[in-house]
Amino acid sequence: MNETKKNINKVNRLLIKHFGIPERQKPLPYSIDTLIATILSQNTNDNNSYRAYKNLKSHIGQWEEIKFVKRSSIEKLIRIGGLAKQKSAAIKNLITSLIDKNDINLRFINELDNYSAIDQLIKFDGVGVKTASCVLLFALDRNVCPVDTHVHRTINRIGIVNEKTPDKTFNALNKILPDGIAHSFHTNLIRLGREICKPKKPVCSVCPLIKNCQYSDKNFEANTKLSNKSFMLLDNV
């Protein structure tokens, strides 16, 4: 194993020691639920995207019915999640396209390798690399680490990759990602980005990765000393 993969595994262990092993729901291999939920999660918080998904799901008996529902009606149902006009158009286009393929599920990508599957998914309007990679991780249980703004920021600050955009970070990271860690690594990096490694004034004094991180602009204003817990986490790895 090369040094970069060893470093990723070490970072993953540190994150698990600090945050624990993230819980996950059982993947639904052929369901498009994850794809629709991920479209709704774009540019909003978890609570609002979940409410938008529940609103849509409760008013639509089967996903196939969306083809025959006015886009404006879909927009009203998902308005709580933001960007309702764009997301309603993306969802309606997705369902219509899948029906035209006679395949209202993900079987058409299940046999493809990860990059080929992503290439197929991003052909749908409103589905980008992050959304497609979330489908692979959460619906198909692939060892793929999606890259949102939190993962992009933290993984570059740590120094595992050095890329300017989330999509470039995704490509660089997933070429070297060790087997079997994608879910915990992705989920805990998001938590790290939300709670500690914030865009402005990261709370570096309590970060479990302080000894590994190469970020040059560390912030110790919140606490000039590392907590005992942080030292224990670092020294035991």
- What's the burial of 211, exposed, middle or buried (CB within 10 Å: 0-12/13-18/19+)? middle
Predicted confidence band of residue 2 (pLDDT cuts 50, 70, 90): confident
Cβ neighbour number for residue 148 with a 10 Å cutoff? 19
Mean pLDDT of the chain: 89
**Average pLDDT, stretch 205-229?**
76
Contact 14, 184 (CB under 8 A): no
- Of the candidates 5, 6, 130, 218, the residue annotated as catalytic is 130
84-100 and 71-78 helices, crossing angle to 10°: 130
pLDDT at 231 over 80: no
Amino acid symbol at 217: D
C-alpha closest to that of 86 among 50, 139, 43, 30: 43
Predicted confidence band of residue 168 (pLDDT cuts 50, 70, 90): very high
pLDDT at 25 over 90: no
C-alpha closest to that of 183 among 117, 153, 139: 139
* pLDDT in the model for residue 161: 97
Residue 207 φ then ψ, to 5°: -80, 130
**Average pLDDT, stretch 121-149?**
94
Q: What domains sit in the chain, N to C, each tagged with a CATH number?
A: 3-22+146-235 (1.10.1670.10), 33-139 (1.10.340.30)
Contact 12, 185 (CB under 8 A): yes
**Average pLDDT, stretch 154-162?**
97
* In the chain, % of residues over pLDDT 70: 93
Whether 130 is a known active-site residue: answer yes
